[in-house]
């Protein structure tokens, strides 16, 4: 910067001539307008507003003017610089928008590319199905009870009124541990959990017991030596078959949809009396037995699906398990979880459940 | 039980228009469950008529066959009355025989339409039918030749052949043995429709006398009633009448000979098993007793059996001649030359029958009825009915002797309050309905003010308790009348902590890309060998099964790995590039605390008795198993894939630990089936939880898995026991973070976890987190050494840390690591 020079004729300071300032301003504005991207604009900014730009240099010369000339020159330069800065900002904004738009276009990817780097896991439908059932009952205030699969013979049979000569106790039906004199079996049903619950708790009792059970069945599309059952037990004052019906209707509707209820047929189970088999309104044809003019495949045209067994807990069972049979009554029910899943999910072959093929299991995800 | 509808109708007057479907539905509602309805003529459309062969001319054909050109009188069935010309390939008939003819326009099973057609130079107008063509059996040796009295030409053959007689097959529950007879089924049908019923067992029988065959019953508990009747001069060649053959066949039994068929027929009719002896082969009096040690018998099925002292046997002077109530012996079996029959109708103790049947693995129609409890009061009627049918169809003389030993046991009576049915069923059943229904099932009632004492009918040994009576009352009212009412709301506490944790474990693993499987929990030596377990490995001590599915897998498993590894190999074999599987399931370990006690059921076992019972049950912890085989991350446009390895396996356990709030410790271990250098023992609180790591190469090979497959097996129960009960809200600071990275060089054998633990301990409370971010081995640190680079993050809860404070904490951390692990800071 030059020092003040009183001898200096302001008119002779070339950069401060008004035509010079206007020319610098116009050159800057033209360059700004001509800048086509942010990099160019950056250069324009340096060239026209930087320390070495004509307007900056001119500005520096103001101090060299006699005081009387400074004001006017300052105004002129200030206006010119203001115009340039304004134009720069405006151009910057425009170019930024353009830049962003361009970037967004340039960064476009093919979003249909596969993204399955880590394959999805899944939980077994028997697990999630058991949870679904448990949740339905927990929502009614029931609890989930469990017991061991290798079970005492007394709990699996005797306590449930399956006497020593009951046909189910033969080697043909039941897995026994070796030697059989140890009186241990692979539980043939989840009912010993009922017995355990009654033996270790006091009424009122409302429990469901999902679990794995064993029978020496052939292994085919509808039978398996290892399968899963859910058992329900309610012991309270004044419990009747009507409560059993109400509970199963609610269960059916929760599991299969509103309007799907149950019917009872007389049957026989040693641990219940009266006993009934439970049929479920076919949730596919909704009881019609026919679907699209052909017999319904799910219920084989019956309109009903056999679902399980149930009944009023035999007072002999209550007595053996320490429940006051004079004061309390109860109901119990049991159904196959695998079977229920088979018709609910349309699984054709029971063995698919136990083969461990990931294509089967992953189809069900982590919740049913 | 298969019941022909016409036979049911013989004993009950069903209302007009009752269809077989309706009958079956009503009986199902009463507890006789419909299995199937057989409609033999269902597939046939008439005209199907009786025809009489008038002429038959054999005509040899060029193809070597000889056909018969027949004229058959079909009455007016063809609309003309003229004989029908029919070509027939069979030769088992002659002019004059009655045959079954299907006329043009008819349809045979298989949608086989019959029309008049030119064949072998004749216009054959219809077909003479064989049993197989009518769907009546496999007999294709020739056409059906009807008995001479079967009917008239032109008559509808559906009736003659019983093709309109539908058969209902029921599944009979074990408590309803009475329904294993037409007598019982018809009784239920009468109950279903309120229709009149005629009891086929109700007949006048001759009184017992002392001229009958001598019978001594040594065991009146095992054999309360023994009735013997005799027929002599019987024609062993006499055929069984067609109607009887048909009914026996319809009921699912095989016709054999008149004498056998009659006993079976009466068993089906009345429900009382009968045994017939060839009376000429009997020597001396019949005696009923229990078998003695060492006695043997060859039964009718030709099996020589060693008898138990619990078996009831029938003997004569020659020795044992039958296994009472279960199966007769060979020596006194009726044969094609039997002319003299001794008929035995005895009532046997059901339990004894069941045990004998089970012991000798004998199931027979007779045994099935005897072991479930037949009506003890109809022995005389049954024997009389047999004698009647034998002499009617086989000639001979009824011996006047009538032997009756013993008296039927009495049914104990049952007291029941009138309101019990309503209290138990929730249906509005009053005393009047209770009385009516109990009487309807045959109970004799003694009616009191508040209740009734019922004596069940003799065919209902299953009725012993008041609740049994409730079922009888209720099933007649109809189970469809049971109202649907929800019980009062129970005050449940939701899922238990463990149940919730189990779900969490499953979700965590599924979230980590693992797929759950369920395997059969059976194991054998082959699997243990494949896992490379040493001979004395604890996992080889199993709970063995007495009757395993396969002798190859005789035990309940002690490890989930065999099932998982097989499932993984199966998936790989089916084309999966990689598979991550998990299973949660119980395994079992023997406890050897003696047999589990068997208690009575008339009271609850005491607490100490229960404790003894629970103690005898094998330990069954819940295990978690994981197998990771092949690709863990897929290759793709993003780059290469990544094979599963030891780190993934251990990582999953750590992840579970984090999820459950358990500090899982990882220490190096050597345990089959894992790679000895790549196996971690995972612990909690110093206690072994299980193992994780890469599988031993031999194990991968044995199971057909890709190399470097990895696996986990831990005791999930134990992990869950240590799970954090209530998670405290974390206390964290918002003051600025101070970062310090340190690289430490240690011997390659030093566990990183030890170095980290030392750093953590040395750094003190200011340390917020520590993380290994690099591992280096190579020239710069020298052979047998490794460099571990840790990022330490410091933060105070109440101030901004100064550089000096942070450096001091870092130095203290490094110093402790140096002291404990010999770590040297790399500069």
Tokens at A321, concatenated: 């398990």
In terms of residues, how long is chain B? 827
Please tell me the predicted confidence (pLDDT) of residue B99: 92
Would you list the DSSP string of B479-493?
Answer: GGG----PPPPP---
- Measured CA to CA, the distance from residue A179 to residue B339 in angstroms comes to 51
SS3 annotation, B689-730: EEEEEEECHHHHHHHCCCCCCEEEEEEHHHHHHCCCCCCCCC
Would you list the DSSP string of B767-800?
Answer: EEEEEEEEEE-STTT-TTEEEEEEEEEE--SSSP
Would you list the DSSP string of B614-681?
Answer: HHTSPB--EEEEEEEEEEEE--BTTB--EE--HHHHHHHHHHHHHHHT--EEEEEE--TTEEEEEEEE
| Contact across the interface for A354 and B480, Cβ inside 8 Å | no
Task: Enter the CATH code of domain B42-160.
Answer: 2.40.50.140
Q: What is the ipTM of this complex?
A: 0.88
A224, B542, B568 from B519: Cα distances, Å: 12, 17, 11
Task: Give the residue ranges of DSSP H helices in A35-66.
Answer: 38-49, 54-61
Beta strands, E only, B293-447: 296-298, 304-306, 312-316, 319-323, 327-328, 341-347, 397-398, 403-405, 414-417, 444-447
Nearest to A266 among B471, B492, B613 (CB): B471
* Residue that is written with structure tokens 């060299």 in the block: A64
Task: Enter the CATH code of domain B2-39+166-193.
Answer: 3.30.56.10
Nearest to A240 among B423, B495, B516 (CB): B423
Please tell me the predicted confidence (pLDDT) of residue A307: 95
Q: Which residue of A has its CA nearest to B573?
A: A357
A237, B419, B538 from B423: Cα distances, Å: 10, 6, 55
Please tell me the predicted confidence (pLDDT) of residue A7: 55
Question: Smallest CA–CA separation between A354 and chain B, in Å?
Answer: 5
What pLDDT band is residue A106 in, cutting at 50, 70 and 90? very high
| Contact across the interface for A243 and B512, Cβ inside 8 Å | no
Contacts of B596 (CB under 8 A, 6+ apart): A152, A153, A154, A182, A183, A184, B613, B616, B617
Give the domain ranges of chain A: 10-106, 125-362
Q: Which residue of A has its CA nearest to B599?
A: A154
pLDDT under 50: residue ranges of chain B: none
Give me the residues of B, 443-482, that contact A with CB < 8 A: 465, 467-468, 470-471, 474-475, 479-480, 482
| Contact across the interface for A177 and B544, Cβ inside 8 Å | yes
Please tell me the predicted confidence (pLDDT) of residue A13: 64
Contacts of A28 (CB under 8 A, 6+ apart): A44, A47, A48, A49, A53, A55, A84, A87
Give the domain ranges of chain B: 2-39+166-193, 42-160, 215-405, 414-481, 497-721, 738-825
Give me the residues of B, 284-343, that contact A with CB < 8 A: none
| Contact across the interface for B495 and A138, Cβ inside 8 Å | yes
Collapsed DSSP state (helix, strand, coil) of residue A56: helix
Residue A132 with chain B: CB contacts under 8 Å: none
What is the interface size between A and B, counted as CB pairs within 8 Å?
302
| Contact across the interface for A142 and B351, Cβ inside 8 Å | no
Residue B703 with chain A: CB contacts under 8 Å: none
* B414-481 matches B2-39+166-193 in CATH topology: yes
Question: Smallest CA–CA separation between A16 and chain B, in Å?
Answer: 53
Chain A contact for B205 (CB, 8 A cutoff): no
Residue A4 clears pLDDT 60, i.e. is over it: no
Domain covering B738-825, topology: Alpha-Beta Plaits (3.30.70)
Chain A contact for B36 (CB, 8 A cutoff): no
Residue A1 clears pLDDT 50, i.e. is over it: no
Helix axes A125-138, A241-256, angle to 10 degrees: 130
Q: Which residue of A has its CA nearest to B595?
A: A182
| Contact across the interface for A121 and B511, Cβ inside 8 Å | yes
Question: Smallest CA–CA separation between A261 and chain B, in Å?
Answer: 10
| Contact across the interface for A329 and B424, Cβ inside 8 Å | yes
What pLDDT band is residue A3 in, cutting at 50, 70 and 90? low
Closest CA to B226 of B238, B241, B212: B212
Please state which of the four CATH numbers 3.10.129.10, 3.10.450.50, 3.40.640.10, 3.30.930.10 is assigned to the domain occupying A125-362: 3.30.930.10
Please tell me the predicted confidence (pLDDT) of residue A12: 55
Please report the sign of the dihedral spanned by the C-alpha atoms of residue B67, residue B69, residue B73, residue B77. Answer: positive
Nearest to A170 among B358, B475, B617 (CB): B358
Residue B636 with chain A: CB contacts under 8 Å: 114, 116-117
Residue A274 DSSP code: E
- Measured CA to CA, the distance from residue B675 to residue B743 in angstroms comes to 29
In terms of residues, how long is chain A? 368
Question: Smallest CA–CA separation between A222 and chain B, in Å?
Answer: 16
What pLDDT band is residue A171 in, cutting at 50, 70 and 90? low
- Measured CA to CA, the distance from residue B4 to residue B243 in angstroms comes to 12
Question: Smallest CA–CA separation between A239 and chain B, in Å?
Answer: 7
Closest CA to B186 of B177, B173, B175, B197: B197
Domain covering B414-481, topology: Phenylalanyl-tRNA Synthetase; Chain B, domain 1 (3.30.56)
| Contact across the interface for B479 and A240, Cβ inside 8 Å | no
Give me the residues of B, 423-442, that contact A with CB < 8 A: 423-427
Please state which of the four CATH numbers 3.30.930.10, 3.40.190.10, 3.40.228.10, 3.50.40.10 is assigned to the domain occupying B215-405: 3.50.40.10
pLDDT tens digit sequence for A238-290: 999 999 999 999 999 999 999 999 999 999 999 999 999 999 999 889 989 89
Nearest to A319 among B567, B603, B613 (CB): B603
Please tell me the predicted confidence (pLDDT) of residue A5: 53
| Contact across the interface for A121 and B509, Cβ inside 8 Å | yes
CA B460 to chain centre: 26
Do B214 and B403 meet the contact criterion of CB atoms below 8 Å apart?
yes
- Measured CA to CA, the distance from residue A125 to residue A364 in angstroms comes to 6
Please state which of the four CATH numbers 3.30.930.10, 3.30.980.10, 3.40.50.10860, 1.10.1060.10 is assigned to the domain occupying B497-721: 3.30.930.10
């Amino acid at each position: 910067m030059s020092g003040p020079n009183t001898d200096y004729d302001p008119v002779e300071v070339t950069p401060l001539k008004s035509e010079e300032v206007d020319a610098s301003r116009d050159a800057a504005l033209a360059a700004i307008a001509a800048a086509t991207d942010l990099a160019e604009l950056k250069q324009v900014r340096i060239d026209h507003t930087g320390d070495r730009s004509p307007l900056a240099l001119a500005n520096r010369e103001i101090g060299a003017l006699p005081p009387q000339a400074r004001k006017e020159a300052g105004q002129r330069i200030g206006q010119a610089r203001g115009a340039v800065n304004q134009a720069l900002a405006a151009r910057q904004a425009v170019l930024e928008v353009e830049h962003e738009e361009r970037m967004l276009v340039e960064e476009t990817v093919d979003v249909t590319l596969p993204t399955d780097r880590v394959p999805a896991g899944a939980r077994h439908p028997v697990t999630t199905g058991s949870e679904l059932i448990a949740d339905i009952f927990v929502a009614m205030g029931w609890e989930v009870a469990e017991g061991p699969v290798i079970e005492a013979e007394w709990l699996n049979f005797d306590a449930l009124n399956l006497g020593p000569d009951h046909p189910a106790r033969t080697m043909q039906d039941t897995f026994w541990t070796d030697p059989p004199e140890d009186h241990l079996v692979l539980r043939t049903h989840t009912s010993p959990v009922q017995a355990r619950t009654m033996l270790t708790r006091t009424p009122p009792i409302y429990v469901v017991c999902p679990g794995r059970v064993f029978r020496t069945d052939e292994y085919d599309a509808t039978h398996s030596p290892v399968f899963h059952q859910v058992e329900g037990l309610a012991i309270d004052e004044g419990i009747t078959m009507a409560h059993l019906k109400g509970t199963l209707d609610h269960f059916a509707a929760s599991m299969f949809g509103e309007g799907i209820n149950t019917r009872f047929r007389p049957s026989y189970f040693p641990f219940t009396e009266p006993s009934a088999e439970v049929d479920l309104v076919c949730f596919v044809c909704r009881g019609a037995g026919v679907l699209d003019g052909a017999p319904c495949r799910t219920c084989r045209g019956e309109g009903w699906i056999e679902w399980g067994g149930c009944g009023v807990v035999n007072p002999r069972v209550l007595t053996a398990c320490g429940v006051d049979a004079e004061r309390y009554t109860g109901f119990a029910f049991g159904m196959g979880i695998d079977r229920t899943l088979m018709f609910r999910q349309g699984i054709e072959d029971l063995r698919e459940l136990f083969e461990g093929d990931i294509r089967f299991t992953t189809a069900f995800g982590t919740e049913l | 039980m298969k019941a022909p509808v016409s036979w049911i109708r013989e004993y009950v007057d069903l209302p007009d228009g009752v269809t077989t479907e309706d009958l079956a539905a009503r009986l199902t509602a009463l507890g006789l469950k419909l299995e199937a309805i057989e409609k033999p003529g269902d597939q046939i459309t008439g005209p199907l008529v009786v025809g009489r062969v008038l002429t038959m001319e054999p005509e040899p054909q060029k193809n070597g066959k000889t056909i018969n050109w027949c004229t058959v009188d079909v009455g007016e069935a063809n609309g003309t009355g003229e004989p029908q010309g029919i070509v027939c390939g069979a030769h088992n008939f002659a002019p004059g025989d009655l045959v079954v003819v299907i006329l043009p326009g008819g349809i045979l099973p298989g949608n086989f339409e019959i029309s008049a057609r030119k064949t072998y130079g004749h216009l054959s107008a219809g077909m003479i039918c064989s049993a197989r063509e009518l769907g009546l059996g496999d007999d294709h040796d020739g056409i059906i030749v009807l008995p001479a009295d079967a009917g008239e030409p032109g008559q509808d053959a559906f009736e003659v052949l019983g093709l309109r007689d539908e058969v209902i097959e029921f599944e009979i529950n074990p408590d309803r043995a009475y329904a294993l007879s037409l007598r019982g089924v018809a009784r239920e049908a009468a109950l279903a429709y309120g229709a009149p019923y005629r009891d086929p067992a109700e007949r006048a029988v001759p009184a017992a006398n002392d001229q009958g065959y001598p019978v001594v019953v040594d065991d009146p508990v095992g054999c309360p009633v023994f009735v013997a009747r005799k027929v002599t001069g019987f024609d062993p060649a006499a055929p069984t009448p067609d109607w009887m053959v048909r009914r026996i066949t319809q009921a699912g039994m095989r016709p054999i000979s008149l004498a056998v068929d009659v006993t079976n027929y009466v068993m089906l009719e009345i429900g009382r098993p009968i045994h017939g002896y060839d009376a000429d082969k009997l020597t001396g009096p019949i005696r009923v007793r229990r078998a003695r040690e060492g006695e043997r018998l060859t039964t009718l099925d030709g099996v020589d059996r060693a008898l138990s002292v619990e078996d009831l046997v029938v003997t004569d002077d020659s020795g044992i001649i039958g296994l009472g109530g279960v199966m007769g012996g060979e020596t006194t079996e009726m044969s094609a030359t039997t002319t003299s029959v001794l008929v035995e109708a005895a009532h046997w103790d059901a339990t004894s029958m069941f045990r004998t049947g089970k012991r000798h693995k004998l199931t027979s129609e007779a045994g099935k009825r005897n072991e479930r409890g037949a009506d003890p009061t109809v022995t005389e009627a049954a024997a009389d009915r047999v004698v009647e049918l034998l002499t009617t169809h086989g000639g001979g003389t009824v011996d006047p002797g009538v032997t009756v030993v013993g008296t039927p046991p009495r049914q104990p009576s049952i007291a029941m309050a009138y309101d019990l049915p309503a209290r138990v069923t929730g249906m509005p059943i009053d005393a009047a309905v209770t009385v009516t229904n109990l009487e309807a099932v045959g109970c004799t009632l003694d009616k009191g003010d508040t209740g009734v004492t019922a004596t069940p009918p003799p065919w209902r040994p299953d009725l012993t308790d008041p609740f049994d009576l409730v079922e009888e009352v209720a099933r007649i009212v109809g189970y469809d009348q049971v109202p649907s009412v929800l019980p009062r709301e129970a005050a449940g506490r939701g899922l238990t902590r463990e149940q919730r944790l189990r779900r969490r474990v499953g979700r965590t693993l599924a979230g980590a890309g693992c797929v759950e499987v369920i395997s059969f929990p059976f194991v054998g030596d082959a699997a243990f060998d494949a896992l490379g377990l040493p001979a004395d490995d604890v996992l080889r001590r199993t709970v063995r099964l007495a009757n395993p599915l396969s002798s190859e897998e005789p035990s309940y498993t002690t490890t989930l790995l065999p099932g998982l590894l097989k499932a993984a190999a199966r998936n790989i074999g089916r084309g999966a590039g990689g598979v991550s599987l998990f299973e949660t399931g119980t395994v079992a370990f023997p406890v050897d605390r003696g047999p589990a006690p068997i208690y009575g059921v008339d009271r609850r076992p005491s607490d100490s008795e229960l404790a003894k019972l629970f103690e005898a049950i094998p330990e069954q912890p819940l295990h978690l198993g994981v197998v990771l085989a092949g690709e863990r991350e897929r290759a793709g446009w993003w780059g290469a894939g990544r094979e599963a390895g030891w780190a993934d396996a251990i990582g999953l356990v750590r992840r579970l630990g984090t999820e459950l709030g358990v500090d899982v410790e990882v220490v190096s271990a050597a345990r089959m089936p894992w790679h000895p250098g790549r196996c971690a023992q995972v612990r909690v609180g110093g206690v072994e939880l299980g193992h994780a790591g890469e599988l031993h190469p031999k194990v991968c090979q044995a199971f057909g898995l890709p190399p470097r497959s990895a696996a986990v097996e831990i005791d999930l129960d134990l992990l869950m026991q240590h799970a954090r009960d209530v998670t405290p809200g974390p206390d964290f600071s918002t003051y600025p973070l101070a970062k310090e990275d340190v690289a430490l060089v240690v011997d390659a054998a030093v566990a990183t976890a030890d170095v980290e633990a030392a750093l953590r301990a040395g750094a003190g409370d200011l340390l917020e987190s520590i993380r290994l971010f690099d591992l280096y081995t190579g020239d710069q640190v020298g052979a047998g050494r490794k460099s571990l680079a840790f990022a330490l993050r410091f933060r105070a809860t109440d101030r901004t840390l100064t550089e000096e404070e942070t450096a001091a904490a870092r130095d203290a951390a490094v110093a402790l690591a140096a002291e404990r692990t010999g770590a040297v800071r790399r500069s």
